[in-house]
Amino acid sequence: MLTRKHSIEGKAPFVDSVDVLESLDLEAAIRMAMVAGDIILILDDTGKILDASANPDEFPGYAGWIGQTWVDTVTAESRPKVMEMLAGARKHQTQHWRQVNHIGEEGDTPVKYVIVPTGTDGRHIAFGRDLRETAAVQQRLLQAQQSLERDYTRMRRLEARYRMLFDLSSEAIIVAATDGFRIREANPAAYQLLGAQPGTLENAKLIAQFDRGSREALITYFGSALTSGGTAPFTARLRDGGESVSLEAVGFREQGEQFLMLHFGTAGARAATGTSVALDVIETMPDAFVLVDDSRAIVAANIAFVELVGAASVQQVTGRLLDDYVGRPGIDLDLVDGQLAKHGSARNVSTVIGASELFAGEPVELSAVRTTGPNAHTGYVIRPIGRRLRDIQPVLQDRPRSVEQLTELVGRMSLKDIVRESTDLIERLCIEAALTYTSDNRASAAEILGLSRQSLYSKLHRYSLGNLQGEPD
């Protein structure tokens, strides 16, 4: 927001400016006026534009304003501001910067102005500064803030769901830090299993909850759980002659610390309950999941996948080929199959869903894993990334900057698109080389490239090269 600090009010005058300013000639005064703003308007006392100075690349229609009334060149909501500034200039009041929007063929142009009277002849000079770059930065900042707020809300919802699942689970679950094996969290089922009073297990020693005869073997089991991907269930007896329980430990890291998550229960009950919970999670997870056989025919899918492909029900997609919905024919899924055959899994592969001759498809990201054995199946997790791309989309589209990046496009883009990107890369490299060779002299660079200066400026804008804010030498 513009405040009084942008005006001359309250600023100390020059100590001795008479000798310097009285010696200024007309040419020096004109240069000072042109340097003071991106656009300068010479106005009479009625607000009519007598003359103007600006960069024609930045303000292509400013020459047509000469002879018009200033208020006729701005939008309706900016006209009261213009009239207030003119009224203040007639009364020789202290002026403050005010933002107005000029009407243009490509949209409104925001400019902040201040008016300075030239003397007793009733003429005024309006100094303007272009706010389009500031507005673009503010827009990107707003988009980033909105994206962060959406992600924060999503994380809060996920945390609430996790807390609800943790507290309402019929299984006893304990989370313990490996440093001293202190309990960090325990759900109500764990309190009931260990016979503890509410709130007494936090920061208590985990090993102390078991019988002395089981503690040494239990510490060894915890060490194996931390160093290996998975361990078999372990049977231990609770303290004070308690019952024998079956537990399974899983190690994980969080913020640089190691933790253990313990699931309690009998082996048979855990296997059945674990399978049921896994199926429920897959069915309700926000990301699309689909299971296919070795011919890529869909065997099972969750609701998120059905909604993503626009089907009416799971039965409608069952038996159909995954190729009918995901990827470009003969390209994406074949590449994923190659990765699965080589590594057994594929991660974060960019592709599209719903592509057709008239529609390029919605961008998605998929990960896949294939089971081993004669009856192999493949599971795909598909995540839409269109919102993410829109949130972080820069003002200028990123283009390949090297041959290595171009070769990485094979399989992700058609040959026609890759050839177009190659042409852009070569053109950009040639312009960069010409600017380097001429020490950033754009006139010389345009000459050795065989381009007009206007064509070179257009390409500089396109590729975001050089300092484009000021008039080139």
Residue showing tokens 């074949």: 334
Higher-pLDDT residue of 221, 389: 221
Q: Give, in order, the Cα–Cα distances in Å from 395 to each of 56, 171, 386, 391, 432.
A: 22, 51, 16, 11, 20
| Pairing of the two strands 109-117 and 98-102 | antiparallel
Q: Do residues 40 and 106 both lie within one domain?
A: yes
Of the pLDDT bands very low, low, confident and very high (cuts 50, 70, 90), residue 473 is very low
Tokens read off for 463: 């590729």
Neighbour-count burial for 433-471, b at 16+ CB within 10 Å, e otherwise? ebbeebeeebeebbeebebeeeebbebbeebebbeeeee
Does residue 266 surpass a pLDDT of 70? no
Does residue 406 surpass a pLDDT of 80? no
Q: What is the pLDDT of residue 273?
A: 53
Per residue in 316-332, pLDDT tens?
888 899 888 888 776 77
- Does residue 109 contact residue 59 with C-beta atoms inside 8 Å? yes
Does residue 241 surpass a pLDDT of 80? no
Q: Do residues 35 and 121 both lie within one domain?
A: yes
Closest CA to 245 of 267, 221, 216, 212: 267
Neighbour-count burial for 49-84, b at 16+ CB within 10 Å, e otherwise? beebebeeebbeebeebeeebbbebbeeebbebbee
Mean pLDDT for all residues in the chain:
81
Of the pLDDT bands very low, low, confident and very high (cuts 50, 70, 90), residue 289 is very high
Residues 6+ away with beta carbon under 8 Å from 284: 302, 303
- List 17's β-bridge partners, or say none: none
Higher-pLDDT residue of 274, 130: 130
Per residue in 123-151, pLDDT tens?
888 999 988 888 889 889 999 999 999 98
Residue 244 within a domain: yes
Tokens read off for 409: 């496009």
Q: What is the pLDDT of residue 29?
A: 72
Of the pLDDT bands very low, low, confident and very high (cuts 50, 70, 90), residue 393 is very low
Q: Do residues 296 and 324 both lie within one domain?
A: yes
Closest CA to 400 of 391, 408, 392, 390: 408
Dihedral (Cα; 449, 451, 457, 461), 10-degree rounding: -70
Residue showing tokens 């998120």: 304
Least confident of 210-224, 258-272, 309-323, 376-390: 258-272
Residue 161 within a domain: no
Exposed/middle/buried for residue 368 (C-beta within 10 Å: 0-12, 13-18, 19+) = buried
Q: Do residues 250 and 328 both lie within one domain?
A: no
Q: Do residues 217 and 290 both lie within one domain?
A: no
Q: Do residues 225 and 316 both lie within one domain?
A: no
Does residue 412 surpass a pLDDT of 80? no
The CA distance from 33 to 36, in Å, is 5
Q: What is the pLDDT of residue 397?
A: 45
Q: Give, in order, the Cα–Cα distances in Å from 92 to each of 29, 115, 270.
A: 21, 10, 85
Q: What is the pLDDT of residue 113?
A: 92
Q: What is the pLDDT of residue 75?
A: 92
Q: Do residues 241 and 292 both lie within one domain?
A: no
Q: What is the pLDDT of residue 436?
A: 85
Tokens read off for 49: 């534009």
Mean pLDDT of 414-432: 80
Least confident of 166-175, 347-356, 391-400: 391-400
Per residue in 32-89, pLDDT tens?
777 778 888 989 888 899 998 888 888 888 888 899 999 999 999 999 999 998 888 8
| Pairing of the two strands 298-301 and 345-353 | unpaired
Of the pLDDT bands very low, low, confident and very high (cuts 50, 70, 90), residue 23 is low
Mean pLDDT of 198-223: 87
Q: Do residues 383 and 408 both lie within one domain?
A: no
Residue 294 within a domain: yes
The CA distance from 436 to 433, in Å, is 5
| Residue 16 DSSP symbol | S
Element (H, E) at 100: strand 98-102
Q: Is 197 helix (H, G, I), strand (E, B) or coil?
A: coil
What is the share, in percent, of the chain residues with pLDDT greater than 90?
Answer: 11
Residues 6+ away with beta carbon under 8 Å from 422: 406
Q: Do residues 307 and 275 both lie within one domain?
A: no
The CATH number for 301's domain is 3.30.450.20
Dihedral (Cα; 61, 67, 70, 73), 10-degree rounding: -30
Closest CA to 250 of 176, 193, 191: 176
The reported pTM is 0.34
The CA distance from 151 to 317, in Å, is 31
Residue 155 within a domain: no
Residue 471 within a domain: no
The CATH number for 409's domain is 1.10.10
The CA distance from 263 to 251, in Å, is 12
Helices (H), 116-187: 132-168
> Among 130, 160, 192, where does a domain finish?
130
Nearest-5° Cα angle at 289, 268 to 335: 120
Residue 140 within a domain: no
Residue 143 within a domain: no
CA 196, 198, 200, 204 dihedral sign is positive
Mean pLDDT of 205-218: 88
Q: What is the pLDDT of residue 411?
A: 59
> Among 223, 258, 280, where does a domain finish?
280
Total count of domains within the chain: 4
Tokens read off for 301: 């899918």
> Among 81, 109, 130, where does a domain finish?
130
Q: Do residues 184 and 69 both lie within one domain?
A: no
Residue 97 within a domain: yes
Q: Do residues 317 and 295 both lie within one domain?
A: yes
- Does residue 99 contact residue 9 with C-beta atoms inside 8 Å? no
Q: Do residues 413 and 378 both lie within one domain?
A: no
Least confident of 4-13, 141-150, 207-216, 325-334: 4-13
Domain extent, residue 433, equals 403-463
Tell me the residue length of the chain: 473
CA 280 to chain centre: 31
| Pairing of the two strands 345-353 and 257-264 | unpaired
Element (H, E) at 77: none
Least confident of 185-194, 270-279, 310-319: 270-279
Of the pLDDT bands very low, low, confident and very high (cuts 50, 70, 90), residue 7 is low
